[in-house]
Amino acid sequence: MKLGTRLARVLPVLLAGQALGQCDIYWPGIPDFDQRRGSGFSSTALPGNGAMFCVPTASMNCLAVIDSAGYNLIPGANAQNWYQQNPLYNSVTTNLDELGSDYMGTGADSGSSFSAGVDGLQDWIDDRNQGDRFNVCGFEHDGDAFPKVAWIYNHIKASHLTMFSFGRWYRDGDQLERSGGHALTAVGVFDACDPDEPQLHYRDPNSSDHLWQQSHFTLVTRTLYHRWFNMDGDLCQVYTFNETETGTEETPVKVIDSFRWIVPSVAIGSSPINPSAIRRTKIAALPTEPPGVIDINTPSAAIMIDSAYSFVDHTYLLGLASTPSQAAGIFRYDPVDNSFTRISTLNRNPDRVLVDRFGHLYVQLGSEVKKYKLVDDTPLLLASYLLPSSPGAWAYDDKTDTLVMLTSGLTRVSRLSRSLTFVGDTPLPAGMTMSGEGAAALHPITGRLWVTSSGSPAAYEIGFDAAGRTNIVSLATHAQFHAPRGLQFNGLGHMFAACDGSVRSFAIDANGRWAPVVGGAWNELPDRSMGRLMDMSRSRHNAQAIHSGPAWLDIDPIDEPIPDGIIDCTGDFNLDGAVDFFDYDDYVRCFEGRTCPRGRDADIDRDGSVDFFDYDTFVLGFEQGC
């Protein structure tokens, strides 16, 4: 069909956006690259024919989406239509080899560890100059908490490209123990509100036995089962792939036990003109939600005292002050639907909130620090500690798993372990100007503590000598670094602060001095104003040493069965595996603003609007078939 004919079909149709069905989400167009790649004819190969390359391949599916949005994350293999990528087969193979071998430690005989899957993917993005726009995060089960399908749903709905892994768990007496796993790319969730049997849609890198050419993209769908198991000594709720698996050598229990995702950079703080409104600034985003500023009023117009990003489920935990109509407390803010849920009532206003890399919540109430585990939004107190004086700033050190605080009127550095046991207390060096509202942050590369305050002329890099005494390692000063609040660093080591009500970023220039960043994602925003910079998304994961052994490598044995699935294509709008009249009729109904198939909307190109280009893209895909 010619473009003019397609245009004639489109003109009579009313344009209308569609909201996604509640609890159903599907992301069309995510690639499904094959991990199995051997040399033959004119093709290049992966080590071991790619048998262990499930983690890099699941990641490359996600990188391709960002690449197509214009960020060039797959050099030499750029494409707007990855369905037609066979001419780029060798280029994709070369990139897969580099991502796996050089960034994730993947080899012919060993897979990628969970932490390497997160850190390697972030390093890849950083090295391609997009680290200020995109962050890679991950969560693996930590004993009693396993990934929830609702978390995966929330990330996909927020346009976070999401990967997950299942582990193969084998029975040892009355326990299940993990031995290997497999990584996949999530593309949708149906019935996410059903806690017992939701459906997960995904791409499986092992969905083809072709070794010399790209197979058809395939959509795999599984009903998951919510079950209780003794997981290596802990009784846990988990999601499994099969209801009848017994954990024997022939039928291991396949449990979703980790997931990773790519988050467009976001900062959240208070509105510069309305202290009872949250200001959420998207530094970068995929086309479905372009960068920009959104202000959201808090419940009962409560003043937001502090905020912490709960990276695991993509929500924010807010400390809100009391109002005449509601008590102070901790609220969960979900940016997917801008909803608020109270999770705790407090008898006084909280001073600070913080979330560690394991998802635990810390609340400061005067000189007391409390730590909670959140179970379905019910806070369970794990520990508390009463300090000699109230902290004036704090940060969580992911490398040492300690809570670092400025105490005694911003004159001392105090540390508590993650279990809230005392670690140490040291005076800050003399000669520092610290007054007003304090701030503390850990540099992601050096691991050193940086401190400042709203009355400081500089940010101070703090070191510790062999005797544990503090010293000033360096200063960050600039005319624009004035009245700083909410000190932060991104993964590239750039320093951020809300200075005079505007978020500014600084980096070390060619002369070795801190200076405003030239260009970059922040400077592309027309509005960088913020009352206080509370929290900024960053790369984070909860990898633990106990999971570093061979059993925790996400490996894909050569005998992993190829899953059943349906060929994926643009024309199959209702996801039934066939392109026919029902797809065309379903799309027209959806485009006109009537009903849509589950998880679908008419925004085929996912640019945030429904228009002629979507209709034209669908018709072209319909004509091509699968």
What does the DSSP 8-state code read for residue 389? S
Q: Residue 3 pLDDT > 70, yes or no?
A: no
CB contact at 8 A, 346 and 372? no
pLDDT tens for each residue of 503-526: 899 999 999 999 999 887 888 888
Four-CA torsion 449, 454, 457, 459, nearest 10 degrees: 10
- Which of the pair, 428 or 553, is modelled with greater confidence? 428
The residue among 474, 442, 437 whose CA lies nearest residue 458 is: 474
Least confident range of 194-208, 486-500, 514-528: 514-528
In percent, the amount of the chain with pLDDT more than 90 equals 64
* CA–CA separation, 198 and 285 (whole Å): 28
pTM: 0.91
- 484-489 and 495-499: which strand pairing? antiparallel
Q: How confident is the model at residue 9 (pLDDT cuts 50, 70, 90)?
A: very low
Can you tell me the mean pLDDT for 430-437?
92
Q: How confident is the model at residue 461 (pLDDT cuts 50, 70, 90)?
A: very high
Q: How confident is the model at residue 153 (pLDDT cuts 50, 70, 90)?
A: very high
Please return the burial class of 5, using the count of CB atoms within 10 Å of its CB with bins 0-12, 13-18 and 19+. exposed
CB contact at 8 A, 197 and 107? no
Q: How confident is the model at residue 11 (pLDDT cuts 50, 70, 90)?
A: very low
DSSP 92-114: HHHHHHIIIIIIS---SS--B-H
Can you tell me the mean pLDDT for 533-554?
82
Q: Residue 7 pLDDT > 50, yes or no?
A: no
CB contact at 8 A, 369 and 314? no
* CA–CA separation, 418 and 402 (whole Å): 5
pLDDT at residue 18, as a whole number: 35
Q: Residue 5 pLDDT > 80, yes or no?
A: no
Q: What are the tokens at 376?
A: 């379905």
Task: Encode burial over 226-257: b for 16+ CB neighbours within 10 A, e otherwise.
Answer: eeebebbeeebebbbbeeebebeeeebbbbbb
Can you tell me the mean pLDDT for 290-317?
91
* CA–CA separation, 408 and 388 (whole Å): 8
pLDDT at residue 136, as a whole number: 96
* CA–CA separation, 52 and 100 (whole Å): 9
Q: Residue 557 pLDDT > 90, yes or no?
A: no
- Which of the pair, 281 or 412, is modelled with greater confidence? 412
* Alpha helix segments (H runs only) across 335-476: none
Handedness of CA 188, 193, 199, 204 (dihedral sign): positive
Containing 373, the helix (H) or strand (E) segment is: strand 368-375
Least confident range of 14-28, 177-191, 196-210: 14-28
Tokens 């959201």, residue located: 296
pLDDT tens for each residue of 212-238: 888 889 999 999 999 999 888 888 899
Q: Residue 558 pLDDT > 70, yes or no?
A: no
Please return the burial class of 172, using the count of CB atoms within 10 Å of its CB with bins 0-12, 13-18 and 19+. exposed
pLDDT at residue 346, as a whole number: 97
CB contact at 8 A, 149 and 200? yes
* CA–CA separation, 207 and 562 (whole Å): 5
Whole-number average pLDDT of the chain: 89
pLDDT tens for each residue of 36-82: 998 776 678 999 999 999 999 999 999 999 998 888 899 888 777 78
Cβ partners under 8 Å of residue 495, min gap 6: 450, 459, 476, 487, 488, 489, 505, 506, 507, 514
CB contact at 8 A, 530 and 501? yes
What does the DSSP 8-state code read for residue 173? T
Q: Residue 465 pLDDT > 80, yes or no?
A: yes
φ, ψ of residue 621 in degrees (nearest 5): -65, -35
Q: What are the tokens at 167?
A: 């582990």
Q: How confident is the model at residue 288 (pLDDT cuts 50, 70, 90)?
A: low
Q: Residue 152 pLDDT > 70, yes or no?
A: yes
* Number of H-type helices and E-type strands within the chain: 8, 34
Task: Encode burial over 378-397: b for 16+ CB neighbours within 10 A, e otherwise.
Answer: ebeeebebebeebbbbbbbb
What does the DSSP 8-state code read for residue 5? H
pLDDT tens for each residue of 336-388: 889 999 999 999 999 999 999 999 999 999 999 999 999 888 999 999 999 99
* CA–CA separation, 37 and 52 (whole Å): 11
pLDDT at residue 337, as a whole number: 87
Tokens 């690259």, residue located: 33
Please return the burial class of 485, using the count of CB atoms within 10 Å of its CB with bins 0-12, 13-18 and 19+. buried
Q: Residue 322 pLDDT > 70, yes or no?
A: yes
Can you tell me the mean pLDDT for 423-435?
92
